[in-house]
Amino acid sequence: MPAPRVIPVSASSGDYEVVVGPRLLAELGPRASRALGTLPRRVLLVADRGVPQATIDLALASLGSEGCSCAVALVNADERDKSLAAAERLLLAASAHALDRADLIVVLGGGLTGDLAGFVASTYMRGVNVIQCPTTLLAMVDASVGGKTGVNLPSPHGLLKNMAGAFHQPRLVLADLAALDSLPERQFRSGLAECLKHGLLAADFGDPGLWTWTLARLPRIREPAILAELIERNVRIKATVVGNDERELHPSAGRALLNLGHTFGHAIETLPGVTPEAPGGLAPPPKQPTPPLPAMLHGEAVAIGLHAAAVCAAACSPDAGPAAMLVQDVCAALHAAGLPAHARGLPSDDVILDRMRHDKKMLGERLRLILPVPGGRSEVRLDVPEVALRQALRAIRAKET
């Protein structure tokens, strides 16, 4: 087996490592002991219900071999369940297992599970150790790294994504490639959206060739060596951004750029009746694994958001030629990755714009958008006219038949 790849993350609140490789969950106990200096007596393992029982058992066996007393709490990977009520249930589980400040929460699942359990770790006893063990591509390349945690809040304007949260860095991230073997194809493709997002801003963070490298390898992206390099390079982008701006304190640069595609994406992600249109105009596969996948996955919403952001950038650009070419490039990349560029069942522009204006990325009364520019770069814009926003929303509407 190839040696694990180790990416250091340097943050003001603490340094840690992201380890990428096969069969890492079998080493969870010893690696946790080394990361923490000593292994805690008690561990609460928070797992996504969609994670195979064999994967959960592997993590428990490794922790148990080090003498840990483990309790398991299962959560639903559904945005409606990423809530304060779910956080309360996990806090009560931590208390019932008598976790103290020297103990540990281990997260086994995708980005939603990581955000929720990370938020619980940040608040239980004002903060306990957390180790992220992402089991989806999206969580491996993005959500598990950087310390952003949170839950959604209900509102008259719809579900407000990650409106309550905290920055709480993990002590270790273990990205076990074997966990991706059981990942449904649609969820795997969803993770590619975050990879494409990183490629559209990587030139400013040390990897200007990431976009073209990724596109060239999409046909073989599941090959172990290519997959490991994909995850490593994307994590390095995220680590560089976080190291420069851990708490998103620079409104016009830094960590804010990681929201590329997300303002549009968050606005449509939880809308009732909205579904992604697959490449070629096909609907998503009707058969779903158990438990069922949501109608719109986060990565699918981000993919559609990348299309919208590119159209919006073209509408704002004084140089129409390169801007229009960028829109074509983004749409071609989404198609090659098996990701949607359009959505079915969208409500009126006014409804979507209202949701966007209640996003946590608003600055005062101004909508903050991240827009791509040619050359693998992106920029923060606070001056996007409404006509450009409406043009972008028209572009992402699927042709209804």
Catalytic: which of 129, 152, 234, 259? 259
Query: CA nearest 255: which of 195, 167, 196?
Result: 167
Q: Which residues pair with 316 in a beta bridge?
A: none
DSSP state of 210: H
Catalytic: which of 194, 232, 269, 300? 194
Catalytic: which of 255, 307, 342, 381? 255
Does residue 358 carry a catalytic annotation?
no
Count Cβ atoms within 10 A of the Cβ of residue 97 and give its class: 0-12 exposed, 13-18 middle, 19 or more buried.
middle
Catalytic: which of 31, 82, 148, 381? 148
Catalytic: which of 238, 307, 355, 381? 238
Catalytic: which of 248, 269, 277, 300? 248
Does residue 238 carry a catalytic annotation?
yes
Does residue 197 carry a catalytic annotation?
no
172-176 vs 369-373, strand pairing mode: unpaired
Does residue 266 carry a catalytic annotation?
yes
Does residue 148 carry a catalytic annotation?
yes
What does the alpha-carbon distance between residue 359 and residue 374 come to, in Å, rounded to a whole number?
26
Sequence-ordered strand ranges (E) for 82-141: 104-109, 129-134
Catalytic: which of 186, 189, 233, 298? 298
What does the alpha-carbon distance between residue 4 and residue 171 come to, in Å, rounded to a whole number?
18
At CA 341, angle to CA 340 and CA 346, rounded to 5?
A: 95
Does residue 248 carry a catalytic annotation?
yes
Catalytic: which of 31, 189, 197, 262? 262
Q: Which residues pair with 176 in a beta bridge?
A: 21
Catalytic: which of 126, 287, 365, 400? 126
Catalytic: which of 266, 344, 355, 368? 266
Residue 357, CA distances (Å) to 113, 188, 220, 273, 367 in order: 26, 30, 40, 21, 6
Token pair of 155 as six digits: 């509102």
Alpha helices (H) along 1-83? 28-36, 53-65
**Residue listed under structure tokens 């990428």:** 20
What does the alpha-carbon distance between residue 24 and residue 26 come to, in Å, rounded to a whole number?
5
Q: Which helix or strand (DSSP H or E) is residue 5 part of?
A: strand 5-9
Report, as residue numbers or ranges, the catalytic residues.
126, 148, 194, 238, 248, 255, 259, 262, 266, 298
